Amino acid sequence: MSKQTINLNVNGQSVTAEAEPRELLIHVLREQLEITGPHIGCETTHCGACTVDMDGMSVKSCTVFAVQAQGKEITTIEGLGDPDKLHVLQEKFKEHHGLQCGFCTPGMITRAHRLLEENPNPTEEDVRFGIAGNLCRCTGYQNIVKSVMAAAEELNKPESVT
């Protein structure tokens, strides 16, 4: 099957890839664009490790064909923060031990980012329900929930006057 040209905006940059229609978004992101933050955990829509933000929605990029994402804006963990300037969620995951092996973390944080955009003052139950599509096999979720709650609190602080 012939390849098609796919134009995406990934983390604020316009990018182009050539992909067969059957190539999944996660494969194009990782293998062609070398954006390896989103992980392949189960590849069956269950684990959420491949979660990216697509036009303001959290999606599992293993269950979207890259051609379906034509023209869309994609944000991955790489677009949220970097080692020199961590995103508040990354800071709080670090501070509250919201990760152990780290495999689920990019998907978890990308999902939590969208959750807090939609609901800046979540209850603990809202957070648990909101990250139900992301599996973690290490933490038992306690510290992940704490981290997201702490990030919400931080983001809601009035900006300090300098």
Partner 1 sequence: MITGNFEYHQPGSIPEAVALLSKLGDDARVIAGGHSLIPTMKLRLAMPEHLIDLQAVKELRKISVSGGEVCIGAMTTQAELIASEELHKAAPIVRETSLQIADPQVRYMGTLGGNVANGDPGNDMPALMQCLDASFTLSGPDGERTVNAREFYEAAYFTARDDLEILTEIRFPAYSGGYAYEKQKRKIGDYATAAAAVLLTKGADGSCEQASIALTNLSDTPLFCEEASRQLVSDGLDSASVNSAVASAMGQIDPVDDNRGPAEFKRHAAAIILRRAIQQAWARA
Match 């139900």 to its residue by tokens. Answer: 132
Subset of 30-49 contacting partner 1 (CB under 8 A): 43-46, 48
Identified binder of partner 1 from the candidate list 9, 32, 68, 100, rule CB under 8 A: 68
113 near partner 1 (CB under 8 A): no
Distance (Å, rounded) from C-alpha 46 to C-alpha 137? 13
Distance (Å, rounded) from C-alpha 123 to C-alpha 125? 5
Which helix (H) or strand (E) segment is 11 a member of? none
22 near partner 1 (CB under 8 A): yes
Query: In whole angstroms, what separates CA 160 from the centre of its chain?
Result: 28
Binding segment for partner 1 among 16-24, 31-39, 88-96, 147-155 (CB under 8 A)?
A: 16-24
Binding segment for partner 1 among 29-37, 52-60, 91-99, 145-153 (CB under 8 A)?
A: 52-60
Distance (Å, rounded) from C-alpha 98 to C-alpha 95? 8
Which helix (H) or strand (E) segment is 21 a member of? none
- Point out which residues bind partner 1 (CB under 8 A): 1, 4, 20-22, 43-46, 48, 51, 57-60, 62-65, 67-68, 70, 111, 115, 129-133
